[in-house]
């Protein structure tokens, strides 16, 4: 079976994809610098996977370290997760975002080229679509980033398009994620943000477990059914399995692809809160506050192409997303620490 290098392997999506790839029979080499993750993930992956994970501690911006990794392992493809992802922070620290997200992508591709590896799955985001011209977003919707983080994803996509055009041996899957939530069914790995969570679900789970007093709902006057923001939440294990499907497509069809990974339906903040209360049996106190600057009212995916091209579709519903997020948070109230 092919060996896959996962950059950002200890992160939220990386760790879940690691398990999904192993279940599908792939060999995995994980790489992470722990700049936004915990080494304890590796113990949990060992426990869940039944073997010691093959792991390299390095930054994707370190060319010499990457050369070492490619020399020690016979890599067939790279799934490139390693990146920073906080919108507010990206505005305050643009250089660190460009260095890590764009610079790290370039150095990873250079190392791949030096070692003859030309197959990559790239973590992009629905944020590259910008203000909706129409909904749902399909893959031909115009692109327009709204902040520094979004630009790092847009530039990353473009760099890989230029690379593929320069050498057709490169095969790339551009995966545009919608809003991943949930955790592995075991409750042993999950999302563990540092500091105050920026995203909705980890904030909700921290309220449920008593780490935060109440949820602030950012805006109650949007033009949506209940006035709160609407997003396409998908279970992180479905997302992980989407990577397996994309990788198989690249390796078997030898064809690049740009694909949305979402469920195809939208859920409001208050609908998510209600579903979480049902799944956890805990009340989630909330207050409706001002809109968060830069937030879009509503967006969700057209998930048709993923089904037709990759044979993938999300299988886990909102109740499962909430139940699994809660299992993880309630059994690990302070995350991995």
Query: Considering only 20-28, 163-171, 196-204, 325-333, which stretch makes contact with ligand UD1 by CB under 6 A?
Result: 196-204
Query: Considering only 210-218, 273-281, 308-316, 320-328, which stretch makes contact with ligand UD1 by CB under 6 A?
Result: 210-218
Taking the least distance from each CB to ligand UD1, the nearer of 110 and 214 is 214
The contact mask relative to ligand UD1 for 150-169 (x = CB under 6 A, - = no) is: x-------------------
Choose, by CB under 6 A, the member of 216, 224, 271, 304 that binds ligand UD1. Answer: 216
Q: How deeply is 230 buried, as exposed, middle or buried, from its count of CB atoms within 10 A (0-12, 13-18, 19+)?
A: buried
Residue 267 found at the interface with ligand UD1 (CB under 6 A): no
Query: Considering only 28-36, 128-136, 212-220, 315-323, which stretch makes contact with ligand UD1 by CB under 6 A?
Result: 212-220
Residue 198 found at the interface with ligand UD1 (CB under 6 A): yes
8-state DSSP, 10: T
Residue 190 found at the interface with ligand UD1 (CB under 6 A): no
Size of the site for ligand UD1 (CB under 6 A): 21
Residue 194 neighbours by CB distance under 10 Å:
11
The residues assigned a catalytic role are 149
- All residues at 6 or more sequence positions from 310 whose CB lies less than 8 Å from its CB, including other chains: 242, 245, 246, 248, 249, 257, 259
Cα–Cα distance, 14 to 40 (Å, whole number):
14
Distance set, CA 253 to CA 89, 93, 246, 295 (Å): 39, 40, 10, 38
Give the number of C-alpha atoms closer than 13 A to the C-alpha of residue 235, restricted to the C-beta side: 21
- The β-bridge partners of 119 are 171
Query: Considering only 93-101, 109-117, 184-192, 198-206, which stretch makes contact with ligand UD1 by CB under 6 A?
Result: 198-206
Residue 137 neighbours by CB distance under 10 Å:
23
Choose, by CB under 6 A, the member of 18, 149, 170, 328 that binds ligand UD1. Answer: 149
Choose, by CB under 6 A, the member of 36, 124, 125, 280 that binds ligand UD1. Answer: 125
Distance of CA 29 to the CA centre of its chain: 18
Conformational region of residue 311, where left means phi above 0, alpha means psi within -120 to 50, and beta covers everything else:
left
In the complex, residue closest to ligand UD1 by CB = 229
Residue 199 found at the interface with ligand UD1 (CB under 6 A): yes
Choose, by CB under 6 A, the member of 34, 98, 155, 218 that binds ligand UD1. Answer: 218
Cα–Cα distance, 125 to 98 (Å, whole number):
16
Residue 200 found at the interface with ligand UD1 (CB under 6 A): yes
Q: Helix, strand or coil for residue 335?
A: coil
Residue 142 found at the interface with ligand UD1 (CB under 6 A): no
Minimum CB separation of residue 112 from ligand UD1 in Å reads 25
Choose, by CB under 6 A, the member of 16, 44, 80, 85 that binds ligand UD1. Answer: 85
Is residue 227 within 8 A of residue 174, CB to CB? The reply is no
Query: Considering only 8-16, 58-66, 184-192, 291-299, which stretch makes contact with ligand UD1 by CB under 6 A?
Result: 291-299
Residue 179 found at the interface with ligand UD1 (CB under 6 A): yes
Is residue 10 within 8 A of residue 34, CB to CB? The reply is yes
Is residue 84 within 8 A of residue 95, CB to CB? The reply is no
Measured between alpha carbons, how far apart are the two ends of the chain, in Å?
35
Residue 87 found at the interface with ligand UD1 (CB under 6 A): yes
Residue numbers of the site for ligand UD1 (CB under 6 A)? 85, 87, 125, 127, 149-150, 179, 198-200, 203, 215-218, 229, 231, 269, 292, 294-295
């Amino acid at each position: 079976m092919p060996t896959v290098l996962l950059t950002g392997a200890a992160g939220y999506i990386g760790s879940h994809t690691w398990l999904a790839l192993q279940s599908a029979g792939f060999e995995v080499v994980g790489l992470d610098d722990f700049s936004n993750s915990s080494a304890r993930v590796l113990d949990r992956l060992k426990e869940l996977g039944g073997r010691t994970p093959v792991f390299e501690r390095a930054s994707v911006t370190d060319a010499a370290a990457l050369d070492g990794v490619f020399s020690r392992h016979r890599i067939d493809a790279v799934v490139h997760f390693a990146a920073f992802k906080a919108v507010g922070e990206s505005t305050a620290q643009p250089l660190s975002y460009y260095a890590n997200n764009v610079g790290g992508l370039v150095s990873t591709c250079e190392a791949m080229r030096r070692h003859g590896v030309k197959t990559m799955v790239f973590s992009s985001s629905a944020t590259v679509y910008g203000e909706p011209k129409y909904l749902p977003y399909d893959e031909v919707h115009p692109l327009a980033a709204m902040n520094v983080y979004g630009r790092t994803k847009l530039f990353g996509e473009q760099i890989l398009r230029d690379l593929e055009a320069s050498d057709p041996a490169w095969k790339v899957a551009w995966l545009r994620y919608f809003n991943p939530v949930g955790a592995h069914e075991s409750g042993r790995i999950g999302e563990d943000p540092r500091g105050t969570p920026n995203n909705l679900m980890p904030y909700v789970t921290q309220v449920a477990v008593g780490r935060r007093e109440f949820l602030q709902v950012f805006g109650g006057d949007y033009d949506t059914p209940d006035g709160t923001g609407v997003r396409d939440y998908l279970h992180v294990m479905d997302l992980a399995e989407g990577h397996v499907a994309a990788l198989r497509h690249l390796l078997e069809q030898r064809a690049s692809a740009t694909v949305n990974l979402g469920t195809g339906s939208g859920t409001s903040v208050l609908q998510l809160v209600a579903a979480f209360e049902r799944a956890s049996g805990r009340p989630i106190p909330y207050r409706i506050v001002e809109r968060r600057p830069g937030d879009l009212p509503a967006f969700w995916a057209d998930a048709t192409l993923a089904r037709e091209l990759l044979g993938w579709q999300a299988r886990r519903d909102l109740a499962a997303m909430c139940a699994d997020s809660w299992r993880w948070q309630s059994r690990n109230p302070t995350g991995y620490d």
